[in-house]
Amino acid sequence: MAALPRHHHHHNPSMGEVPVPHGPETGDEHEHYPSRITNGDDTRAANTTDQEKAIFQYLTHPDDSYTPEGVYWADLPLRERFGFVNKVQNEEAMRELRAIGRMAKNDPLSPLAWYFRNAVLPGAGLGLEGYVLFSIGNLGPLFAATWPTCWGKNPTECSANWVASVTYLEVIGIMVGQLGVGVIGDWIGRRWGLIQDAAIMFVGLLMLTASWGLDLNGWVICYAWSLFFYGFGVGGEYPITATSSMENAVTAGKLSTRDDRLHRGRKVTMAFLMQGWGQLVNQALLIILLLILHHGSGDPPYGVTAIQWTYRLSFAFPAVGTLWLVYYRTYKMPHASRQLAAAKRKGNVTGYDTASLRLTCQHFGGRLLATAGGWFCNDVFFYGNKLFQGQFIAVISNNPSSVMVTWLWNLCNVLVSLAGYYLASLLIDNKMYGRKMMQQVGFLMCFIMFVVPAFKYDYYSHPAGIHAFQAMYFLSSFFNQFGPNSVTFLVAGEVFPTPVRASAHGFSACIGKAGALLASVLYNYIGTETKFYVVPWFGLAGMLITWIFLPDTTGLDLKEQERRWNYIRAGRGDEYRGIAIHPTHLSLWERMRGVGKNYDPELDLKQKIEDMREEWVDKERIRRQREVSGGAGHNRDDPDGLFGGEDDELNDDHFSDEVHHYFKRTTSAEKVSNGSSKGSGKHKNAPLLDGGAGDGDGVMNEKAA
């Protein structure tokens, strides 16, 4: 088998197929378990020469994070830091604008096609989640106006408990899905979770479309359980979509770590904001269907037949798109589990990584509190906002009895929320603002927008202050999206290691939905004014939890975090010296516990070179084995390619020729043959000299073995 070609240039898919020269901006480090730095046998680890620094600079000091002098951006004085970050952001923005211009010149529709591939498709499941989840709030007023004996304030034909369970069962189904599919995503694989969720949502939509009963109460029961089933699939979308979207940024052959550092937040948030588009499409479609089926009017009284067709068609249309999503995830996403499979292979794990789960709780317990607690506080606001919108509209509307008026006001609120989603995606990767600040500001603004009317409710609920009340309500929707609702979805996955990322995200999302459940139950027992006294304090609590326990991973690529995790997994967490424990990237709680005390850029440079050597040795050993066997080999965790496709990890090779030749000259032949850093015998320190033990491409030949 011929040696795989080296990469002298790469394509940068962040804005189409734009060739980017090989160099500092495309350096890519890979997952690996570190080699021990010693003061004895391996003198290379003890001293880093100027030649080594020059050879490895594009990998160890990428120009989007380090100054030409080798200073990390977070170590710069504030003024210089601002200038450096602003320069990098502006250059990247201009590069992307030029790429868009070239794409549009070749094909005017290609930027839209890029957006569809990179935002709409990854977020399709969450778009369906937003569509169906919030249809409950949209359909509720319509059902109450059509069947007051069932959905009214004093139902006589239906059980009040079953009517209330429509909301409760869906939220509980989502919580079960978030926990269950989070574990499945880490156990079986991301791809299986993606396919499973789409299939469950498709069947759930069919159930919702066809729900029926011998009487109205029977129909309500069928409707509630259909939402529970659908909710399981929706819940699974949270951990699976988040983990697969962010891991796609560092999966073999996809994007460089530069894109991961500069655009990971945007990539995940663009998928998440499809939730807002789902809400918008649902509301718009309901308005159109009601106007068509109710003879062009949205005002009561409503005919039973027209309402039956309206709500059933509103579920039937997305079922078609969900069926296509099942097909796409089954046949067009073969490598969704690749990074997880690589992490398991290096950890010698074949099932669920319980050891990593234990270590995560031990080392990242504060982060788990931040992601779960922050999400809980946010969902009290987020879903409380949706559940409360009926009372809000009743206060500001001249005709609150019309369902159409309620829907039009809600449409305005969704548009405001979408603006928040998009602004979050634009600023979430800015190092001077970033995730943590965005979440704190969002929580603070939500607190203010609810606490102000709480203490002057009579003024703001009457004509004199109604416009200010309206502005504050819309601003709370905006800052909820441009803040905790977007950030919690992102950080609940990226601050945890790959082996348990989906589980941690699912757990955090599940605790978050407990906040939604609390809001839906609590709001049934307290009045409108009391809600304003209760809700704001969750915003203040969320801000404090974020400030104390949430680390800021803005600008820190996932592979560096995985590098630190490899040290922890190997029982050597105190030996890690890199930027993943830079004070900027740690929470206040972690800094108080002394986690960042070992940060040392000079020592880390020595370690990083040796870590890359181990990775290079591993790849050369695999390449050697494949040459001998004459085949490409398979992933031993998935020999049939059912969950992750063919194992072509060797194609993800971003080492320059200089790096390859350096490792050939300075690595013992026995180490490459055995894949061990503990060589023995006379070959222990025998270098792989050019033209000797290695061939011209840096691949071991049989004689060297």
pLDDT at 674: 66
122 vs 689, more confident: 122
Do 506 and 627 lie in one domain? The reply is no
Other CB atoms within a 10 A radius of the CB of residue 458 amount to: 10
State the Rg of the chain over Cα.
Answer: 28
**Residue 585: inside a domain:** no
pLDDT band at residue 704 using 50, 70 and 90 as cut-offs: very low
Do 82 and 134 lie in one domain? The reply is no
Q: What is the DSSP string of 188-247?
A: T-HHHHHHHHHHHHHHHHHHHHH---SSHHHHHHHHHHHHHHHHHHHHHHHHHHHHHHHH
Do 213 and 356 lie in one domain? The reply is yes
Q: What is the pLDDT of residues 579-598, one digit of tens each?
A: 999 999 999 999 999 999 99
Nearest to 504, CA basis, from 232, 179, 126: 179
DSSP state, residue 12: E
Quick check: helix, strand or coil at residue 647? coil
Are 16 and 114 within 8 A, CB to CB? yes
Residues 6+ apart with CB under 8 A from 15: 95, 96, 99, 100, 103, 114
Helix, strand, coil percentages (3-state) for the chain, rounded to 5, are 70, 0, 30
Query: Which of 79, 102, 117 is the last residue in one of the domains?
Result: 117
**Residue 255: inside a domain:** yes
Do 111 and 258 lie in one domain? The reply is no
pLDDT at 591: 96
Do 327 and 394 lie in one domain? The reply is yes
User: Has residue 153 got a pLDDT over 50?
Assistant: yes
- Integer CA distances (angstroms), 214 to 158, 227, 342, in order: 12, 19, 53
The total number of structural domains in the chain stands at 3
Percent of the chain with pLDDT over 90: 41
Instruction: Name residue, tokens 């972690």.
Output: 590
Quick check: helix, strand or coil at residue 401? coil
User: Has residue 102 got a pLDDT over 90?
Assistant: yes
Most confident of 67-81, 169-183, 235-249, 452-466: 67-81
User: Has residue 96 got a pLDDT over 90?
Assistant: yes
Do 474 and 605 lie in one domain? The reply is no
Q: What is the pLDDT of residues 468-497, one digit of tens each?
A: 888 888 899 999 999 999 999 999 989 999
Q: What is the pLDDT of residues 305-333, one digit of tens each?
A: 888 999 899 999 999 989 998 998 888 88
The torsion of the CA quartet 122, 127, 129, 134, rounded to 10 degrees, works out to: 160
pLDDT at 228: 93
d(CA 119, CA 26): 23
Mean pLDDT across the chain, nearest whole number? 81
Q: What type of residue is 404?
A: M
What number is the average pLDDT over the span 398-409? 77
CA 609 to the chain's CA centroid: 30
Residues 6+ apart with CB under 8 A from 154: none
- Find the CATH number of the domain harbouring 229: 1.20.1250.20
Do 446 and 312 lie in one domain? The reply is yes
Q: What is the pLDDT of residues 608-644, one digit of tens each?
A: 999 989 888 888 887 888 777 765 444 444 433 333 3
pLDDT at 637: 40
pLDDT at 277: 94
Do 648 and 618 lie in one domain? The reply is yes
Residues 6+ apart with CB under 8 A from 29: 59, 257, 559, 560, 563, 608, 611, 612, 615
What is the per-residue burial (b if ≥16 Cβ within 10 Å, else e) of 178-199?
Answer: bbbbbbbbbbbbbbbbbbbbbb
Are 430 and 85 within 8 A, CB to CB? yes
d(CA 563, CA 343): 11
- Sign, CA dihedral 251-256-261-266, equals negative
**Residue 605: inside a domain:** yes
Query: Which of 516, 549, 582 is the last residue in one of the domains?
Result: 549
pLDDT band at residue 695 using 50, 70 and 90 as cut-offs: very low
**Residue 210: inside a domain:** yes
340 vs 506, more confident: 506
What number is the average pLDDT over the span 520-539? 84
pLDDT at 47: 61
**Residue 587: inside a domain:** no
Do 33 and 19 lie in one domain? The reply is no
Measured CA angle at 236 (ends 235, 240), to 5 deg: 135
Helix spans in 402-433 (H): 403-427
Domain extent, residue 70, equals 1-26+62-117
Q: What is the pLDDT of residues 406-463, one digit of tens each?
A: 888 889 889 999 999 999 999 999 999 999 999 999 999 999 998 998 888 888 878 8
**Residue 198: inside a domain:** yes
pLDDT band at residue 29 using 50, 70 and 90 as cut-offs: very low
Q: What is the pLDDT of residues 250-303, one digit of tens each?
A: 543 333 578 889 999 999 999 999 999 999 999 999 999 999 988 777 777 888
What is the per-residue burial (b if ≥16 Cβ within 10 Å, else e) of 18-54?
Answer: bebebebbbbbbbbbbbbebeeeebebbeebeeebee
d(CA 500, CA 362): 13
Do 34 and 49 lie in one domain? The reply is yes
Do 460 and 543 lie in one domain? The reply is yes
Helix axes 135-146, 160-187, angle to 10 degrees: 160
**Residue 333: inside a domain:** yes
Are 612 and 560 within 8 A, CB to CB? no
- Integer CA distances (angstroms), 671 to 617, 618, 680, in order: 7, 9, 9
Q: Provide the terminal-to-terminal Cα distance of the chain, rounded to the nearest Å.
A: 16
pLDDT band at residue 45 using 50, 70 and 90 as cut-offs: very low
pLDDT at 594: 94
Residues 6+ apart with CB under 8 A from 253: 648, 651, 652
Query: Which of 522, 549, 576 is the last residue in one of the domains?
Result: 549
Are 377 and 541 within 8 A, CB to CB? yes
DSSP state, residue 485: I
Do 98 and 132 lie in one domain? The reply is no
**Residue 132: inside a domain:** yes
What number is the average pLDDT over the span 359-372? 95
